[in-house]
Structure 1
Amino acid sequence: MPITTTIKDRIAEIVFDVPPVNAFDSTTWNSIPAMVTEAGRNPEVNVVLIRAAETARGFCGGVDIKEMQAHPERITVLNRGNYLTFKAVRDCEVPVVVAVHKFVIGGGIGICGASDTIFAAEDAYFSLPEVDRGAMGGASHLSRMLPLHKVRAAFFTGGNIPAAEMHRLGAVEKVVPREALVEEARAFCTVIASKSRKALVIAKEALNGLEPRDVDHGYRFEQGFTLEMYMHEDSQKARDAFVETGKAATF
């Protein structure tokens, strides 16, 4: 399976391995919420670790732009899969740790932003190229990690934020060499796994409730603009350019 779940020592690992770049189609996005929810509900699990396969080119390339180019009518299905995935991560009964390497793009930002703690390899970078892809979305979850003006600069330019900068701004817990990423993330999860599951479940609910705004509502609000953008001719032009050249369209 391209996405697998294994459980060992009270740690559930959900591993992405969808070649070539872990860019998920609408069906895949809609399959992830149940995996996260089931892992969190398992009484033998105290923490969930989400990562890409060590052989994967990067953590997550977001959505499958080729599917959206060929089937624009699936945008609402994709939107729902994204929303439910991020909500499942944030609502997971136990803490969710994410370990990322290389690219964290689009939906990868949503997974990280909905999680509780992020570990990053030194080669990792975070990006929301939505403006260049004829879409919207992701700022609600990036806002859970970064200050307002940094979020806007990243969103308007579609630029990359290196792991070191994410760490400096407090979004990433630790930056480690690529070859040590899984080991370091598992070691952190082992500390969490040693705690009382009941205490972790209560703590997660309390911490979510303390947040000053509802990130899920914010993302749903954003998705209304996503649909509006997809209906504009510039959106199709942007997707065509990316699929054909791998670059942003010129307007």
Structure 2
Amino acid sequence: MSEVIAGLSQLLGLAQGIAWAAALAFVRIGAMVALMPGLGDPSVPQRVKLALVVAFTLVVTPILADRIGPDATPTVLALGGEVVAGLLLGVGMRLFIVALQTAAAMIAQATTLSQLFSGAAPEPQPAVGNLFVMAGVALALVTGLHVRAAELLLLSYDLLPPGGPLSAASAADWGLAVIGRTFSLAFSLAAPFVIASLIYNLALGVINRAMPALMVSMVGAPALTLGALALMAVATPVILAAWLDAFAGQMAAPFAVAP
């Protein structure tokens, strides 16, 4: 009888360890999914998001349970640390969508397309922004965003151990680094349009000086829009490919400065 009780006690301890690992994984994954591109968008129903979080939790829990062991002590502080870790992972991915939106805003301002269909999305943005964001999210999902997200979660437990302390200074340094990298990426994506617009406007200024009687603005604005659309048709695949490579690099090495 004592052997049965001892076996049941051991099973109870093991079940408690698995339940605590599942709780830690659920909290981190829930915070990350809330900010993920595509899966965390407001248009995705809450039930679908919950199903995704549960699916990711089922994948991560067995590995996490082996790492923390059955003797881990549940604490509220550990749950709070998991929320912060999940938010860091989600912000790192969400900033690449912000990079697309920033690049699109720069392109729209440089090519007089800033007000075309500006309210067609839940978040008002130029038509170029709608195109880039939808295409970028679609490419990320087609190329296995869910698989890379699971790999990112497993990698994050090496860099951010469950229940471990988080350095606010390191997290701030990492945030500044990733924000700078994403804004640099945004300018790089918009650079062809900005340079072409600068050259075109300089040429219009020279023409205006040479022929003051000519209504340069009446002729130049439609030509600028047409040229921007033609350049967009050529450059958009290259822009999205460069963005996807940068996003894959972020998923593979999420912390330029370890928090």
TM-score by length of 1: 0.25
Q: Which has the higher strand share?
A: 1
Higher relative contact order (CA 8 A, sep 6+): 2
Greater share of helix: 2
TM-score by length of 2: 0.24
